[in-house]
Amino acid sequence: MYAIPEDTEDLQQLLGWLGQRDIPWMPVGRGYNLLVRDKGFRGAFISLERFDRVTALGGPLIKAEAGVENLTVVRFAQKAGLGGIGFISGIPGTIGGAIKMNAGAYGKGLLERTDHLTLLRGGTVSDFRIEELDYGYRHLKLADGDIVLAAVFRLDECEPRHTEEEIRKDLELRRAKHNVGHPSAGSFFKNPHGQAAWRLIDAAGMRGARVGGAQVSEVHSNFLVNTGGACAADFLALAATVINAVFETSGVTLEEEVRIVGEV
C-alpha cells in the first residue's frame, strides 16, 4: 500500500485506520536513500509529498514541511536574503529525509541549523527544540512511530549572490564526484570518525568488486551501483563483503548510511 495524505489531519486519520487493522507503516520521502529487501514490505508506505510548504517566520527563521525538496528550501532562503544550508543543495530528496539522517556535507549537518522540529508523536503534533533531541553525524534518534512533519531553520543573513555561488559549487562538485553512471542509493556507508569510507574501501581492494548485478562503483567506491538486473540480495551480499574486507585491512567496521527495510 502506498498512501499520500493531504495534510496532518488526514495523516492522523490514516494512522488510526492502519492501527485498527494492525497494518505496519513506514514514512518515506523520495526513496533515494532506501534499499528494500527482495521480499518487500508488507504494510503501508506513507509519502508526505503534499507537505510541501516553506514559509518565512521573520528574522533568520524559515519553516519547511517534510515533503519539500532540499534545493527548494535553499532557494527560498536565498530569496529572503538568508543562507547557511547551501550544502544540502545537491543532496537529492526532501527535508523530512534530510532531517531524519541529519544530511550534510563538508563537515556540516542540517540539524546544526535547525531550531526546532514539529513531530507527530503518539498521534499528537508537538514541537521539540533541537537541544531536546539526541542527534549526531548522520543520526537523529526519535521515538518509535515519530514522524517528522516540519523543521524550523535558523539561518544567517547572506547576499543572494553568495548563496548562488555556494549552490553552484555544491552542484558542480556532486556532479563531478557522484556521477557514477548507474543507479544507486547514494553513499552506501557512513564515514567513520576522521576517515573517509571510500578510502578505506579502496585500501581494502574493493573498488570494482561485484556480486551479481551489484558493483562497488569504479568512479566513487562508496557508491554501490546497479549495473543491470541487481536484486537487493546482491547489494546486501556485496555490502557484507565490503564491510568484512575493510575490517580485515583497517580494523574499522563500516556502518550503512542507506536505510535497509523489508522482510528478511
Tell me the average pLDDT across 167-182.
81
pLDDT band at 185 (very low <50, low <70, confident <90, very high): confident
Residue-wise pLDDT tens digits, 142-170 = 999 999 999 999 999 999 999 999 899 88
Provide the percentage of residues in the chain whose pLDDT is more than 70: 100
pLDDT in the model for residue 38? 96
What cell does 6 get? Answer: 493531504
pLDDT in the model for residue 92? 87
pLDDT in the model for residue 169? 86
State how far the Cα of 145 lies from the Cα of 119, in Å rounded to an integer.
Answer: 10
Query: 101 in helix, strand or coil?
Result: coil
Shared-domain flag, residues 59 and 91 = yes
35: Cβ contacts below 8 Å, ≥ 6 apart: 185, 232, 235, 236, 258, 259, 260, 261
What cell does 72 get? Answer: 527548494
Shared-domain flag, residues 138 and 231 = no
pLDDT band at 217 (very low <50, low <70, confident <90, very high): very high
Shared-domain flag, residues 26 and 61 = no
The answer to whether 257 is a known catalytic residue is: yes
The pTM assigned to this predicted structure is 0.86
Q: What is the 3-state secondary structure (H, E, C) of 148-164?
A: EEEEEEECEECCHHHHH
Last residue of a domain, one of 141, 175, 209: 175
What is the domain count for the chain? 3
Residue 22 has φ and ψ, to the nearest 5°, of 55, 40
pLDDT in the model for residue 43? 95
pLDDT in the model for residue 264? 78
Residue 154 Rama label (left phi>0; alpha psi -120 to 50; beta): beta
What angle do the packed helices 160-178 and 70-79 form, to 10 degrees?
Answer: 160
Looking up residue 156, the CATH number of its domain turns out to be 3.30.465.10
The answer to whether 187 is a known catalytic residue is: yes
Last residue of a domain, one of 141, 157, 175: 175
Shared-domain flag, residues 140 and 64 = yes
Instruction: Flag whether pLDDT at 32 surpasses 90.
Output: no
Shared-domain flag, residues 187 and 251 = yes
The answer to whether 207 is a known catalytic residue is: no
Instruction: Flag whether pLDDT at 229 surpasses 90.
Output: yes
State how far the Cα of 264 lies from the Cα of 261, in Å rounded to an integer.
Answer: 9
Tell me the average pLDDT across 135-144.
92
Tell me the average pLDDT across 6-34.
94
Q: What is the 3-state secondary structure (H, E, C) of 68-93?
A: CEHHHHHHHHHHCCEECCHHHCCCCC
pLDDT in the model for residue 195? 94
Shared-domain flag, residues 59 and 151 = yes
Say which of 138, 154, 174, 210 is annotated catalytic: 138
Shared-domain flag, residues 151 and 71 = yes
State how far the Cα of 250 lies from the Cα of 242, in Å rounded to an integer.
Answer: 12
Looking up residue 215, the CATH number of its domain turns out to be 3.90.78.10
Residue-wise pLDDT tens digits, 61-111 = 999 999 999 999 999 999 999 999 999 998 889 999 999 999 988 778 999
Say which of 89, 187, 217, 221 is annotated catalytic: 187
What cell does 90 get? Answer: 545537491
Tell me the average pLDDT across 117-145.
94
Tell me the average pLDDT across 7-11.
97
Shared-domain flag, residues 160 and 187 = no
Say which of 65, 69, 166, 257 is annotated catalytic: 257
Shared-domain flag, residues 140 and 221 = no
pLDDT in the model for residue 106? 78
241, containing H or E segment? helix 232-250
Shared-domain flag, residues 193 and 235 = yes
Shared-domain flag, residues 78 and 156 = yes
Contacts 24+ apart (CB under 8 A), 251-254: 252/192, 252/195, 252/200, 254/189, 254/190, 254/192, 254/197, 254/200, 254/201
Instruction: Flag whether pLDDT at 174 surpasses 80.
Output: no
Question: What rounded mean pLDDT belongs to the chain?
Answer: 94
Specify burial of residue 33 (Cβ count, 10 A radius: 0-12, 13-18, 19+): buried
Instruction: Flag whether pLDDT at 211 surpasses 80.
Output: yes
Shared-domain flag, residues 171 and 65 = yes
Specify burial of residue 259 (Cβ count, 10 A radius: 0-12, 13-18, 19+): middle
Last residue of a domain, one of 108, 142, 175: 175
CB 158 within 8 A of CB 165: no
Cell 528550501 maps to which residue? 73
What is the extent of the structural domain holding 42? 2-47
